[in-house]
Structure 1
Amino acid sequence: MYVVVSESPDPLTILKTICENIVGGPAPNFRNIEDAHNQLQLQKINSRRNEPILAVLDDIWRFSDLKDLLFIGEQYMTLVTTGDANIMQCIPLWFNKGHYPLPSLQEEHALSLFCLCAFDMSSIPDTHNEQLVKQVQADCKGLPLALQVIGSSLNRQPDHVWKATRDALARGEVSDDNQIAFLLKRLETSIDIWVYVRRMKRNDALPLVRKFEARHPLDMRRDPGTIVLTTQCRRLYMSQKQSELPPEWQTDEDLSSTAQIISIHTGAMNDTQWPQMDFPEAEALVLYLSASEYCIPPFLLTMKKLKILQIHNDSAKQAKLSGLPDFQALSELKSLHHEGLIVPSLHEQCDVSENLEKLYLSLCEGLGRDTMFNFPRLIEFNVDHCSDLEELPAGICSSNSLKILSITHCKSLAKLPDKLGSLKRIRLYQSGCLEELPPSICRLGELELLNISWVEDEQEQSP
């Protein structure tokens, strides 16, 4: 029996799960923790199954949580995983306890874990550069979180993305001292969920991710390109690509009516393949697709509280979308993340988004020179590996709300807007056609960071 406890557990729900495993059926309702322990003891004695049970309580953060979940019974054993060794010292002596510190990953195990995340297999495939893969893997320092996050971010990525990651690692962007700064970029989508769905301040969310990084919990669930942190919110989660939504989503109205975070992984979909469903409480929708043509699910219109929309395409060709509603129908939307898409199909129907604060475009096409966006409250704009971006969207920097501008691996970008608003942080990385900055950069009185770097191509002279 495997139970993820994590930072904010519901002990009565976990004890109910333990009881259901003991009796092999529905558990009674517990009034409180003491009542749950008494009934568990009784159920174990009277259980007809009389089978040995190993209960794994994974990712314990505090002894107070563990104390509520510890239960003694004949042929019943508990295995606890935690990143805090002090918790083990608090367990009463009358428990027959053993302490097994986990060492750092050995080289072969680190490579195997990295390959599982990067290639969905335990070794380096013949189609990839073995030396390049081992360079990236070695610079992850054997840290499980770094291996998983960076490996996942490189899944199905072309060679130039691998080389850029290798160069970033070689420059020390992931080191013993400041590795979390690099990993935070990979975990940014999860932080958005904590901020916009759990109403947590961003400055409060970052220390939690640091705790998460230090503990290396075993409950990380991976979709291509993102790590979803455990929250208290109700989630509907498709972990593997399917041709339709799980049947229980459609038959259990309680699931859809209360779900706050929804993750869907499918291939090509048209409007007839999506079921009619309502998600009135949904605040985050993550779509993973493998297709060049994709219809947005019509139930997106039922998500009146939606704050986060992420669409990730991991096929070899950028996807053209249909069925996307205009932003006026998503009036609460705060964060928009698109990867591997043709952008004009997105903005043709988008008049204005009054509340959008964060926009991230990666491996998208169609930006060119004429793309128009109207986001008057945009705070952060990130563009990564958009090869045909020649100029930034008109007016993107004119609003005084924009504070963060990050443009990476956009080799066609030739100029920045003349007006840069009131930016605080500017990052320009490997944008080889950009020869000068506009004079208005000298008038940015609130500028805190200007990071400009070019990585020398292996076959070219340094500029």
Structure 2
Amino acid sequence: MECLDIQMKYEKDSVIWMTVGLDAKVSDLYEKLGRCCILDNGVSEKFKLIKNQEEQRTFLKNAYAEKKVFLILDDVWEKPKYDHHDMLYWLDISRGPGSATLITSRSKSVLCKVQAKVEVVLSLPKEESWKLFCCHAFESDGALPTTLEELARDVCEECKGLPLALKVIGSAMADKATVAEWRCALHDLRRSKPIVDSNVDDELFGRLELSYKELKDDATRICFLYFAAFPEDYEIEADKLLRMWVAEELFGLDLSVEEAKDKARAHLEILVRRSLIDWNQGSKYVHIYDVLRDLAMHIIGKAERGECGYECFFQSRKENAIIPETELLKDLKRMSFMSCNICKWPEDLQMPHLKVCILREISDIQRELLTDIFKKMPNLKFLDLSSNNLLDGQVPYFGSLVSLTHLELQRNPFHEFPMSVVNLYKLVSLNVAKCGSLEALPESIGNLNSLVDLDLNICRSLKALPKSIGNLNSLVKLNLRDCQSLEALPKSIGNLNSLVDLDLFRCRSLKALPKSIGNLNSLVDLDLFR
């Protein structure tokens, strides 16, 4: 069925696209189905009152029974099971007259289970595959060397007509100019195991892994593996990625902050050129295809001691996430839990080499972090505790994190600033943006002599800054955007000799600026509300 045919047969609101993926939660998918435009408001409101998942399923099946919809379920996996049922059990709700369901999957068994009426394998014909491969493997205006053409066609054929494989492997071969290099690549590709019906396409991973191995150094490989730290289809902020890489000191110990940022950005662009990620330099977010994210997970899962992947442990959107065993914890340098329910925290959490820790959107984190969870992480550089609903008295003690340089506390509802933060003398970046209940900063904030970036964006209850803000001699960026209760700036702000960027946009209660702001000779960007 062509796109035009679909548009003619179904109304705009009747085409529902849902990305499922391995990390998907039934509750999230049901929320989307429950508030779909095709259902009237009365039905949607009733659905919100139902908490039991089985009852939700029955309600949705009845609600859609008389609707004509085209339901697209993208990237469906057979496992894991949710409450003893496969994902398709929960999503098989489109049974109304004229309705249809389109499923995309990397597992043939998924299609067998639903007894699909039509199966389509998405692969390109031979000549189109060759054109796409050449587009990425060779210069557009350069002739293909005769000595390489036969080998290049063999490499292309190993991509099995899969567009993503053609693009990624072609990009990996772009700087290969000798017959020996192409022969080695062909040998590696042919060693991939044949497809056995499973949820992981081992053959595809085996081919795509060539592009990972062809990355020049461990730093670039680690940058790629970082994309497994985020859930599928997550909007990954480019700046946040760069901050993590800089904090870990991936590119050397003796670089200035700006030099490290430049190195980080250069590595991001390498991954773009290798077709491993998508990113336009003007865009705030970086995107990675699910298959390539799964490749990163695959590499981490089979890594052995001494390999980059062995130092990573990433989980996301897990109903019952598990902390690794003690022996593995001792080697970890990067750990991420996002949108997880964590079964149990070890009583004695020893992670002597951990540098980056993402504990974001953890539903049960408040109780657990009241323990001494960070006591034995002496080398931790980057910590993300954003969106954890941390209230006053629930924010953990940070005093033992003597090496911490980057702290993310945004989107938490505490009123009082966490006092242990002011003892983090190596802190370079502090993000408390969107903490809408935060009312004041302590006078001791001036102790953070290494602070370069302070983000208070959308702290709408913040009324004033302490005088000691003027002691932050290293501060380059101060973001006060949308601090709507901010009434005045202290005169001491004129002492910030390193300040380059001051954002006061939408500070509606700010009546005037102190005259001392004229002393800020380094200031380049000043955004004001008028």
TM-score (norm 1): 0.50
Percent of aligned pairs sharing the same letter = 19
Pick aligned residue for 2:167 from 43, 67, 81: 81
Alignment of 1:32-71 (within 5 A): none
Instruction: Indicate how the Cα distance of structure 1 residues 194 and 404 shifts in structure 2: closer, same or farther if over 3 A, else same.
Output: closer
Contact kept? 2:315, 2:336, Cα under 8 Å: yes
Contact kept? 1:190, 1:228, Cα under 8 Å: no
TM-score (norm 2): 0.45
Pick aligned residue for 1:377 from 416, 426, 434: 426
Deviation at 1:372, TM superposition (A): 3.8
| Equivalent in the alignment of 1:355 | 403
Instruction: Indicate how the Cα distance of structure 1 residues 455 and 258 shifts in structure 2: closer, same or farther if over 3 A, else same.
Output: same
| Equivalent in the alignment of 1:337 | 384
Pick aligned residue for 1:191 from 206, 221, 242: 242
Q: Distance in 1 between matches of 2:312 and 2:268?
A: 19
Q: Does 1:400 align with 2:449?
A: yes
Pick aligned residue for 1:303 from 333, 341, 351: 351
Alignment of 1:260-275 (within 5 A): 260-267=311-318, 269=320, 274=323
Aligned partner of 1:288: which letter? M
Secondary structure (helix, strand or coil) at the match of 2:335 reads strand
Contact kept? 2:349, 2:373, Cα under 8 Å: no
Instruction: Indicate how the Cα distance of structure 1 residues 444 and 262 shifts in structure 2: closer, same or farther if over 3 A, else same.
Output: same
Deviation at 1:397, TM superposition (A): 3.3
Higher Cα Rg: structure 1 or 2? 2
Deviation at 1:365, TM superposition (A): 2.1
Pick aligned residue for 2:332 from 278, 282, 288: 282
| Equivalent in the alignment of 1:31 | none
Deviation at 1:444, TM superposition (A): 1.5
Instruction: Indicate how the Cα distance of structure 1 residues 68 and 346 shifts in structure 2: closer, same or farther if over 3 A, else same.
Output: farther
Instruction: Indicate how the Cα distance of structure 1 residues 369 and 303 shifts in structure 2: closer, same or farther if over 3 A, else same.
Output: closer
Q: Distance in 1 between matches of 2:362 and 2:133?
A: 34
Q: Distance in 1 between matches of 2:315 and 2:234?
A: 17
Question: Higher helix share goes to which structure?
Answer: 2
Deviation at 1:334, TM superposition (A): 0.7
Contact kept? 1:236, 1:259, Cα under 8 Å: no
Q: Distance in 2 between matches of 1:238 and 1:288?
A: 18
Deviation at 1:394, TM superposition (A): 5.4
Question: Runs of 5+ in structure 2 lacking a partner?
Answer: 1-124, 140-147, 160-164, 183-229, 253-259, 280-284, 509-528
Question: Runs of 5+ in structure 1 lacking a partner?
Answer: 1-51, 96-147, 154-182, 240-245, 457-461
Pick aligned residue for 2:486 from 427, 431, 434: 434
Of 345-354 and 372-381, more deviation after overlay is shown by 345-354
Secondary structure (helix, strand or coil) at the match of 2:242 reads helix
Deviation at 1:61, TM superposition (A): 8.4
User: What value does the CA root-mean-square deviation take over the aligned residues?
Assistant: 5.2
Of 255-264 and 196-205, more deviation after overlay is shown by 255-264
Of 296-305 and 69-78, more deviation after overlay is shown by 69-78
Contact kept? 2:425, 2:447, Cα under 8 Å: no
Alignment of 1:209-228 (within 5 A): 209-210=268-269, 212=271, 215=273, 217-219=275-277
Pick aligned residue for 2:372 from 325, 330, 334: 325
Give CA-to-partner distance per residue, 1:139-172, whole Å, 9 cap, x none: xxxxxxxxx99x844xxxxxxxxxxxxxxxxxxx
Give CA-to-partner distance per residue, 1:340-360, whole Å, 9 cap, x none: 111656644433321111111
Q: Does 1:312 align with 2:398?
A: no
Q: Distance in 1 between matches of 2:367 and 2:447?
A: 29
Q: Distance in 1 between matches of 2:150 and 2:240?
A: 31
Contact kept? 1:197, 1:307, Cα under 8 Å: no
Deviation at 1:414, TM superposition (A): 1.4
| Equivalent in the alignment of 1:449 | 501
Q: Distance in 1 between matches of 2:393 and 2:287?
A: 27
Of 402-411 and 387-396, more deviation after overlay is shown by 387-396
| Equivalent in the alignment of 2:464 | 415
Contact kept? 1:358, 1:378, Cα under 8 Å: yes
Contact kept? 2:315, 2:338, Cα under 8 Å: yes
Q: Distance in 1 between matches of 2:394 and 2:149?
A: 49
Aligned partner of 1:453: which letter? F
Aligned length: 297
Give CA-to-partner distance per residue, 1:306-333, whole Å, 9 cap, x none: 1111112176xx8524055343411101
Secondary structure (helix, strand or coil) at the match of 1:191 reads helix
Instruction: Indicate how the Cα distance of structure 1 residues 431 and 193 shifts in structure 2: closer, same or farther if over 3 A, else same.
Output: closer
Deviation at 1:301, TM superposition (A): 2.6
Give CA-to-partner distance per residue, 1:228-265, whole Å, 9 cap, x none: 899xxxx97399xxxxxx9x78xx97599961222112
Instruction: Indicate how the Cα distance of structure 1 residues 288 and 60 shifts in structure 2: closer, same or farther if over 3 A, else same.
Output: farther
Aligned partner of 2:338: which letter? Y
Contact kept? 2:417, 2:441, Cα under 8 Å: yes
Secondary structure (helix, strand or coil) at the match of 1:322 reads helix
Instruction: Indicate how the Cα distance of structure 1 residues 77 and 236 shifts in structure 2: closer, same or farther if over 3 A, else same.
Output: closer
Contact kept? 1:237, 1:264, Cα under 8 Å: no
| Equivalent in the alignment of 2:81 | none
